Structure 1
């Protein structure tokens, strides 16, 4: 029963973020003649375009599409907080960070981008980026807002 519920939630998430995914797909397909490579990555629930020749470097997730300027998402990177000098943290896997963004998109669909930019855009202060780093560090916590306590208390 739990597996069926996860499958239904996954299909609904794919449909909910489809407008974002189509934008990512258009950009990725446009990058193919310029050397980008496309592959489906099941664990990330994403179509990944490696070697995208545009952008400042790194990765950008749009729905269920990850656009990446490097050769492979399977590399280490620093968290936003570490790069900003706010703390010392171990490196994380870029693929894990981007998987968190895919999950955020699937939950928020077309609301993701407006909320992301309302929270500050790309940078350490953005709760979406902090949540993606937390997920990459621990494998948990991709949701960008705190969950209410289970006992009904408000702290």
Structure 2
């Protein structure tokens, strides 16, 4: 967690700044994160993870959501848990620390083709495979 502290501090600052507009903090031990629910300007069911801080727009992090591939029309997939998807990003951050954001951007940013998003969706579907590169 110390390795990704700079990212977590950005998330904490964003969450605290949005509290006057309805954002509310909650400790999410299962996700290894502090989460802020009801974040404004994230759209319905939107979320962003910064280190060990999850920012999301809905009332419950355990809400169902579509995978990136489903939303992009690549294939039809069942809904996944937003909490599981974001937990995968927390785990990715805990390994990559401050390198996460540059790697994420280099892999395509917020898109169905981003290996970080594909891995987070895979983890949410199977509860395994959150690392974005194949082992070996």
Return the TM-score normalized by structure 1: 0.85
Q: Does 1:143 align with 2:125?
A: no
Q: Residue in 1 aligned with 2:79?
A: 91
- Unpaired runs of at least 5, structure 1: 1-13, 149-155
Aligned pairs for 1:76-155 within 5 A: 76-148=64-136
Q: Residue in 2 aligned with 1:34?
A: 21
Of structures 1 and 2, the larger Rg is shown by 1
The structure with the largest helix share of the pair is: 1
Question: 1: CA distance between counterparts of 2:87 and 2:56?
Answer: 13
Q: Count residues in correspondence.
A: 135
Give the SS at the match of 2:102. Answer: helix
Question: 1: CA distance between counterparts of 2:43 and 2:114?
Answer: 19
Dislocated runs of 4+, deviation >4 Å = none
Q: Does 1:53 align with 2:43?
A: no
The one-character-per-residue Cα deviations of 1:100-152 (angstroms, maximum 9, x if unpaired) are 0000000000000000000000011000000000000000000000011xxxx
Question: 2: CA distance between counterparts of 1:86 and 1:32?
Answer: 36
Q: 1:115 to 1:74 in 2, by over 3 A?
A: same
Return the TM-score normalized by structure 2: 0.96
Give the SS at the match of 1:53. Answer: coil
Instruction: Compute the RMSD of aligned alpha carbons.
Output: 0.9
- Unpaired runs of at least 5, structure 2: none
| Deviation, structure 1 residue 55 | 3.2
Question: 1: CA distance between counterparts of 2:30 and 2:43?
Answer: 26
Of 85-94 and 96-105, the range deviating more from structure 2: 85-94
